[in-house]
Chains A and B, each alone.
Chain A
Amino acid sequence: MTEELDLTTLSVEELYEVMGDDLYDGYKEEVVEGVKEALSRNVAPYDVLTSGLVAGMEIVGNDFRDGVLFVPEVLMAANAMKAGMAVLRPLLAETGAPSVGKMVIGTVKGDIHDIGKNLVAMMMEGAGFDVINLGINQSAENFIAAVKEHQPTFVGMSALLTTTMPYMKVIIDALKEEGLRDQVTVLVGGAPLNEAFAEAIEADAYCRDAAVAVETAKKFAAIRRQRAAAS
C-alpha cells in the first residue's frame, strides 16, 4: 500500500528515507522517481548513489543476512536498485564520480551449480556494484575475455564440486599470464571451499555467503579508493 506522496514537498534527507523504504519494498518506479527528484534538486549523482540507493540497500542486505527478508523480496529490491542505477549511471560517468565497483562473476568450467552464485550476483547488484554474470561452466578463456572487455575491479568465481575447485587456480594462473591479476580482486565461494583453499590458489578472499561477499567487496573497494586517492 503506497499512499500518495508529493516528493517535491520533501527535504533531500526525507527523500532518501522514502527511497530506502521504496527499495525495501521493491518499488521500482517509485525508486526511479525518487532518484529523479533528487537530481532535479542538483544533488550530485554520486551522493544520490551513496546516501540514497546504497544506504537503502544496506538495510535490505542486513535484513537478508539476519533472516528477516525472503530471497524473492531481496531480488525485487535489487531490481529496484538497478532501475535507479540505470538513471544514475550515465551521469556518474559524466561527472567522473568513482563507481562502487564492477564484478565479473561466473561458475567455473565443469560446474553448473549457480543458485549460490546468482544470489551473490543479486546481492552485489543490490549493493550498487555493476555485475556481469557470465553464467555457468565458464572457461579461463571466457573469464579472461570478460575481464579484458569489462575492466572489472572484481572477479568472482563459484564452484560447488571438489572436482571443479582446482579449475579456479587455472583461471587465476591465466589472469597472471595475461598480466591482469593485479588489476582485479579475486573473490571465491562455494560450499566445499574454505579460506585455506582460497589462500592456496592465491585468491584475494573466500566468502562463505552472499552477505559476506558484499561486505568483503566493499572493504576491498574502500581500500582501492583510498589507494587511488593517495596516489
Chain B
Amino acid sequence: MKRRERRSRRRDTGSARGVPAVIPIINKLPFTEVLDDNGVQAIHQASMRLLKETGILVIDYPPALETFRKHGAKVDGEMVWIDEDTLMHFVQQAPATFSQLARNPTNTLTIGGRNTIFAPVYGPPFVADLDRGRREATLQDFHNFAKLTQMTPYLHAAGGTLVEPQDIPVAERHLDMLLAHITLTDKAFMGSVTSADNARDSVTMAQILFGADAIRQTPAVLGLINASSPLRFDDRMLGALEVYARAGQAAIITPFIIAGAMSPVTMAATLAQQNAEALFGICYAQMLNPGTPVIYGSFLANIDMRSGAPCFGTPENTLALYAGAQLARYYNLPYRSGGNFTASRIPDAQAGYESASTLWPTVQAGTNYVLHAAGWLEGGLISGYEKFVLDSEMLGIMARYVQGISLEEDDFAWDAFAEVGPGNHFLGSAHTMRHYETAFYQHQVFSMDNYEKWEEEGKEDSYKKANAVWKQMLKNYQAPPIDPAVAEALNAFVEHRRAEIRAGKPRSDWPG
C-alpha cells in the first residue's frame, strides 16, 4: 500500500518523461526589513523632491515628452519634472499582482504578493564552460541554455536574452531568440527591448502563440526596461515600453545603478534616485495605458573604486536590496531584484560566496521576480554552463527554505518519540519512513562524500561535477510538444520578418 503510494508520487513529478515539473515558490516567511516606516517615508520624500526639483532627462524620444506634458508634468526641452500628486495618481493605477501567460498553462506565472519567480541570466555576450573556457556566444548556446532552463524545476520563467547569439546578424537576432524560447521551453518568456519594432515583433509572436484576445486579457510578454541612470531614460527603452504598454503587455522598470558612478556613494541617495527613476517609468506606462502591469525593478551594484568595475554581493548592495523591496511594497507593486550575482569569471569560491550573498537577501526580501537567478558570471558578461547548474542547486535550497517550519501535529513526531525513546536513533522509525524522501532538500550537485571516496573517484570538485550535470541535462532534454499549426505560423512570421529586415524594409503589419 505504502509502496504503491510512493510510486504514484514519483510519476506525478514527471521524472519519467525526463522533464521535471516546475516547483512554484510562495514565501511563507516574514520578510527581512532594514528600514522602519520613517525610513521608507524619508526615501519616498527624497524621491519626490528629486522628481520635482532635479527632474528626469528623456533623450531622443519626443513622444514621451508629449505624453508627460499632456498629463500634467512640467516639460522643458528634454527635461521632465513631476510633482507627487500627479505621479502617484498614475503609479496607483498599476496592479499589485498580475499573471503572465505560459505555453504550458501550469507554468503561467503569478507575479506579486508572496510569490517568487526565478528566471535565468539575461544579456551576456560570452559563454563559458569547463571544457572550452570563455568564448563568444552563439545561437547553439542560446538553445542549450533554453533547454537547461526547461529542465530546471526551480526556474519558473524562460527568461530573455539567455546569451547574445553573436553568430546571428544583430537586426534579426530577436526573432531567433523568441522562436527558441517558444519552441524549446513551455515557460513564460521575455520580449525584445532593443527597439520598438523588435518589441512589436515580440507581441506579434505572442499573438500567434496565444491569440490576440488572450494576450489582451492576460499579458504574455514581459519587457526589461532599464533606466539609463542617473535620472535619464532613452528612446530605445521608452519606445519599447510604449509598445508593450499599449499592447497591454508587462514590463519591468529597472533603474540599473552602479553606485558611486551612476548615483552618489551613499545608499540613502542611491535609493532615493532608484525610487524616483522606477516610479517615473511606471508612471509613464500608466499614462500610456492605465493598469499596465509593471514590476518595480532594482539592479543595484556598487563601483569598485579601484578599477571602475561593478561589485556584487557587497553589504551595501544587500541593504539596498532589502530597502528596495520595502519601497515596492509601500507602493503596492511587485518587486524585481537580485539574482546569483558575482564579478568572478569562473565558478570559484568568490563566485560561490558572492552569489550566495545576493541570493539569500533576494529571497528574504520577498523579491517577486528574480532575473539572473542562474548562470551569471563576470558581472553579466558570461553565461556559465556550470554556474547555471550550481546556481540551480541554490534555487532548490531556496524553494525549500521559503516554506518555513511546518507546525502540524505530525510534524511534532510524537509517534517517533514513542517508538524510539531516549538514546536510540530515528532512522528506522515509522515517522522517518513516512517523510524521509522529502524531509530534507536533496542535493543535485553538491557532494557529501568523505575525503577517501572523493579521492578514489577522481577528486571531482563542484565545478567538474556541474560540467557532467549540464551535459546529462541536455541529453535528457525533451522538447515540450507544440501544436504543429502554431509552430508553422510562428516559423512563417519569423521568415517573413527576416526577409523584410534583410531587404531593409520597415516592419509591415502581419495579418492576424
Contact = CB atoms under 8 A, between A and B. Distances in A.
Contacts of B99: none
Interface stretch (B23-31, B268-276, B299-307, B330-338): B299-307
Nearest to B261: A115
Contact of A137 (B59, B258, B261): B59
Interface string A102-119: 000000001010011001
A163 interface: yes
B238 to A, nearest CB: 13
Contacts of B305: 70-72
16 contacts: A67-B307, A69-B306, A71-B303, A71-B306, A71-B308, A112-B234, A115-B258, A115-B261, A119-B308, A137-B59, A137-B234, A162-B166, A163-B194, A191-B381, A192-B125, A210-B308
Contact of A192 (B194, B258, B381): B381
Contacts of A119: 308
B262 interface: yes
Contact of A112 (B164, B228, B261, B303): B228
A90 interface: no
A110 B170 CA distance: 12
A193 B67 CA distance: 38
Interface in B163-177: 164, 166, 170, 173
A-B pairs with the 6 shortest C-beta distances? A192-B125, A70-B305, A162-B164, A162-B125, A163-B170, A67-B306
Interface in A96-148: 110, 112, 115-116, 119, 137
Contacts of B59: 137
B236 interface: yes
Interface in A38-89: 64, 67, 69-72
Which of B194, B236, B306 has the most A CB atoms < 10 Å from its CB?
B306
Interface of B: 59-60, 125-126, 164, 166, 170, 173, 194, 228, 234, 236, 258, 261-262, 303, 305-308, 381
Nearest to B59: A137
Given A112-B228, A191-B381, A192-B126, 13 more contacts: A69-B306, A71-B305, A71-B306, A112-B234, A115-B258, A115-B261, A119-B308, A137-B59, A162-B166, A162-B170, A163-B173, A166-B170, A192-B164
B124 to A, nearest CB: 9
A116 B308 contact: yes
Nearest to B134: A194
A67 B261 CA distance: 18
Given A137-B59, A162-B166, A191-B381, A110 B308 contact: no
A72 B59 CA distance: 27
A67 B125 CA distance: 27
Interface string A185-229: 000000110000000000000000110000000000000000000
Contacts of A209: 307
Nearest to A122: B308
Chain B contact residues, majority secondary structure: loop
A70 to B, nearest CB: 4
A80 B305 CA distance: 19
A64 B173 CA distance: 39
Nearest to B171: A163
Interface of A: 64, 67, 69-72, 110, 112, 115-116, 119, 137, 162-163, 166, 191-192, 209-210
A136 B305 CA distance: 22
Nearest to B379: A191
Nearest to A73: B305
Contacts of B60: 137
Contacts of A64: 306
Given A71-B303, A137-B60, A163-B170, A115 B308 contact: yes
Nearest to A211: B307
Which of A67, A115, A209 has the most B CB atoms < 10 Å from its CB?
A115
A209 B183 CA distance: 40
A163 B192 CA distance: 12
B199 to A, nearest CB: 14
Which of A69, A72, A137, A209 has the most B CB atoms < 10 Å from its CB?
A137
Contacts of A116: 308
A166 B168 CA distance: 12
A34 B261 CA distance: 32
B306 A115 contact: no
Contacts of A162: 125, 164, 166, 170
Contacts of A69: 306
A67 B262 CA distance: 21
Contacts of B173: 163
A137 to B, nearest CB: 7
Which of A119, A166, A192 has the most B CB atoms < 10 Å from its CB?
A192
Which of B170, B194, B228, B236 has the most A CB atoms < 10 Å from its CB?
B170
B473 to A, nearest CB: 26
A70 B306 CA distance: 4
A80 B237 CA distance: 38
A188 to B, nearest CB: 15
Nearest to A112: B228
Which of A110, A112, A119, A163 has the most B CB atoms < 10 Å from its CB?
A163
Nearest to A163: B170
Which of A112, A116, A166, A209 has the most B CB atoms < 10 Å from its CB?
A112
Contacts of B258: 115
A30 to B, nearest CB: 24
